[in-house]
Amino acid sequence: MSQDNNKSSNHSNKQNDKYVPPKVWVQDKDNGGKFASTNRPTAGVRHEQNLPVGNAPFQLYSLNTPNGVKVNIILEELAELNIKGAEYDAYKIDISAGDQFGSDFVAMNPNSKIPALVDHSNNDAGEPIAIFESGAILMYLAEKFGKFVPMEQGAARAECLSWVMWQMGSAPFLGGGFGHFYAYAPEPMEYPINRYTMETKRQLDVLDSHLKNRVYMCGNDEKDYNIADMLIWSWYGQLVLGKLYDAAEFLQVDSYPHVQRWAKLIAERPAVKRAVDLPLQPIS
């Protein structure tokens, strides 16, 4: 067989080895990766588990991941202002052990993701209020206490909420996309890493351009610091400071100087320093 024919045959074999999706997907093997032991295509309770409830008005069930740190920050910022009624107890939900699928946690958050927050301050008016999704929690707390979000309809509130929604829509590309394939997948895969790296860098460029002439996401004064900064910093600020996925060099984070400046400024806030390493009580 000629050399050309050998090349053609090898190319054909490679083509035949490519994955072809079945007509109907079934989970017939372990998908690998860091969280393979807990990943399933179904939701709901997997085991009975009673969660502790402390005496503070708010009960936080979380983990110090980027999504968890967001809520830590606003709670600590409220504490920094000595806001009465914003006290909280914080408990660790170990997602690698499957705590998020316990009966009490699923009752708070049917999506089984951290964080979850329960407001017990309304006990006289009815049942405690459970809030899930980090963006919803920050908006709930900010509006309840009238801090860190513009309360009046207008340009300032619109800008804040626009960046809040930007973060909620963009971060899954960073965490579930780039972070998963770069740091947690069972083996490096060129296409998804390239795809999500490109999108992550595009998002960093969006932020860098926006922060070129702004101290904070929504303005230049201390009063302009708000939940948009908290939400975005927890992911993108920590990323450019080298705190996520050991990917700072790979992403060339030094090429985003305005994000770097902003990230360092937020990181020096006393409440943020406490939030990133918040002590979490065990649940059992």
Q: Which of 59, 167, 50 is nearest to 118 (CA)?
A: 59
pTM of the predicted model over 0.85 = yes
Question: Which residues, in sequence order, are bridge partners of residue 95?
Answer: none
Instruction: Specify the pLDDT at position 126.
Output: 76
Domains of the chain: residue spans and CATH: 155-269 (1.20.1050.10)
pLDDT digits (tens, 9 = 90+) for 50-74: 999 999 999 999 999 999 999 999 9
Structure tokens at 277: 């390493």
User: Confidence class of residue 39 from pLDDT cuts 50, 70 and 90?
Assistant: confident
pLDDT at 214 exceeding the cut of 80: yes
CB distance 230 to 256 below 8 Å: no
Kind of pairing, strands 116-119 and 88-92?
unpaired
* Cα 151 to Cα 142: distance, rounded to the nearest angstrom: 9
CB distance 132 to 96 below 8 Å: no
Helix, coil or strand: residue 90: strand
User: Confidence class of residue 3 from pLDDT cuts 50, 70 and 90?
Assistant: low
* Cα 253 to Cα 239: distance, rounded to the nearest angstrom: 8
Buried b (16+ CB within 10 A) or exposed e, 193-207: beebbeebbebbeeb
Q: Which runs of E-coded beta strand occur in 111-231?
A: 116-119, 129-132
Q: Looking up tokens 């009624």, which residue turns up?
A: 85
pLDDT at 21 exceeding the cut of 80: yes
